[in-house]
A and B are shown apart, each in its own frame.
Chain A
Amino acid sequence: MSKDGLRYTFKLRKGITFHDGTAIERQIDPDHPFSKLGKYPFANYNFGNVKAVEVVDPSTVEFVLKEPRASFLAVLTAGAASVVSPTAVKKFGADYALQPVGTGPFKYVSWDRGQRVVLEKNARYWRYPVKIDRVVYRPIVEDQARLTELLTGSLDVIVGVPPDFVGQLEANARVTLLKQVGAHVWYLGINNQKKPFDDKRVRQALNYAVNKDAIVRDVLKGTGSLSRGPVLPATWGAEPMLKPYPFDPERARKLLAEAGYPNGFSTSLWVPESGSGMQSPVAMSTVIQSNLKAVGVTVALQTMEWGAYLAKLRTKEQELFALSWMAGNEDPDMVMYPLLHSSQWTPTGPNRALYKNARFDEVLHQARLTTDQGKRAEFYREAQRILVDDPPWIFIDHEIQTAAHAKRVQGLKLHPSFDLRVETISLK
């Protein structure tokens, strides 16, 4: 990385080949249309800040950024930044995504839609010898079917154990249950621009009114950890002194009275029936609805199908809404900037709470410009303190991802990104 933080140089490792035999060196395409990447939405989200890619020599490549962005290396770990075989891309064209060729520990073999995806071990994997020969992925939507297949030995690993089965699997000697907090946050969004929510005392009151402990314990059966803000407590740059808002209805009522609502008010809460990272949205929202009722806030719950829900949130008509976010990695910028910086208001970006706090905006911007991790952490800690005092949402929880595996499976580790990483597995 250059001193000004604008130039990142990468040296390619020698002697690595793609699954189709193409050597990784000398494969950098000098005419690669990085400048046209803006055409591809995810490329824009991840690489919108890349100005140019320059080939120095066949095994050296440089990325030039438009402005310094300390999270750039973290962005490069995203799936959309994977290095793929140029021979295969040329050969398959638009169908490349159906015939992926990379350098990873497993090679793509086949995909029967709705039935299975088969991967085979890459014997030439450069980091270490891969210990299993074949991986078969099967989509099984019905929870009971997934569980039955695991308990009868037809499957080795299942992911996304439903909360109601957690206790049963923990007690079962034939399987092992894994749990780990993921880079995820579930929040009850508040439209910060609408009355009465433009008064921060009202937003604080809502945070005091909700019994997060009960949600995590009774609805999620322990598959969530209390949230004190958007940033995971264990991440670098997390503010260690923060505490989750305690459940204090008395205080909530007092704050509402101070803000001029001694008798509460009525509002609406939009909830998707399901959706990526949404845990148990309807059950969780129902608890929140009854908690708010207890402090005088009458909430009309409206459930919607996921696609319809995302479209509705762009109208800016929302008052309260349930949503979650998976950052993909643990850089604090990747969760706070898109969700809460005022330049990211919907429909331009994902700040659907329409949150705007001038000091918060400034701190996040400064943190992007420095590349000194210590200084960045300082800025992010301040940003989190601002968010607790002037809350944009009702903070609820971070999902604890779950997986269960048969006893013969060794070495499976859960990854904070929620990706299932099978390369460390071996069989007994």
Chain B
Amino acid sequence: MTAAARSGFPKRRDEASWHGALGHVAVVAGAAVVIAVVMAFLLLPIVALFTYQPVHDLINNFGAKVATDAILVSLKTNMIAFAIMIALSTPFAYLIGRRRFRGRSVVVTLVEVPLVMPPAVAGLGLLVAFGRFGLLGHTLTVLGIDLAFTQAAVVLAILFVASPFYLRGAIAAFEAVDSTLLDVAGTLGAGPLRRMLRVAVPLATAGLGAAAALAFARGVGEFGATILFAGSFEGTTQTLPLAVYSLFDANLDQAIAIGVLLIVVSAAILLASKLVGSWTSSRSTSPSPGERSSYAQS
């Protein structure tokens, strides 16, 4: 056996592994670049908003009357819309999620229409439905109700745009609840209302919470439907996003301050929903094998 033959094979293997290591380094570097580019693109605007002005200017701008008015309008309208949404959409989602009937899939699809509708079109739709000259305008006028350009209109716009997000998630959450548990609840004497409130809702909490958070975030950011249906009147219908838009020309510093506020609110909602999700899953999962997994996933 020659020395070349003896050393030839290991040499080739060294070379191969060197190539392999180089390839590995290239893949890691490539992945790092892709991640960096995407993250930078997503985060740069946020960083820019936060660093646009010195911190004390930012805080001063929060205190401006336009800002505080918008904060109050946003807070009030979103709270009312959120309460109405939870109160009406939860039983609706329960019915749609648990019952099987003809035309159910049509209902589910119709519920999602507002999701794909441009918000401005939604605003127009609300205007020609509930406005003074709209479909229901005459009826409402007779009843002494004038919705257009009022705070009630803001609530309606938020409801219309945001509740489909909640409905969709809530229907899925209720669908995932184990039927046997609801059946057993019935045999234990629980009527339909008790089955929903004491069994289905607690088991669907994670899914309901995530859907509600998403809908709330969407409602706080609502712009298009609100500006068309409710207008942008400071102190009554001017929500935070509308204030950003109206200040854009007049006072960019204030507009950006409100923008920062909206980012903080949205981040808080996102964080809260993640925490709720992980808390409920750590509390109620890990069923032993054999037990049905009956926890609604978001």
Query: Are these two chains actual partners, yes or no?
Result: no
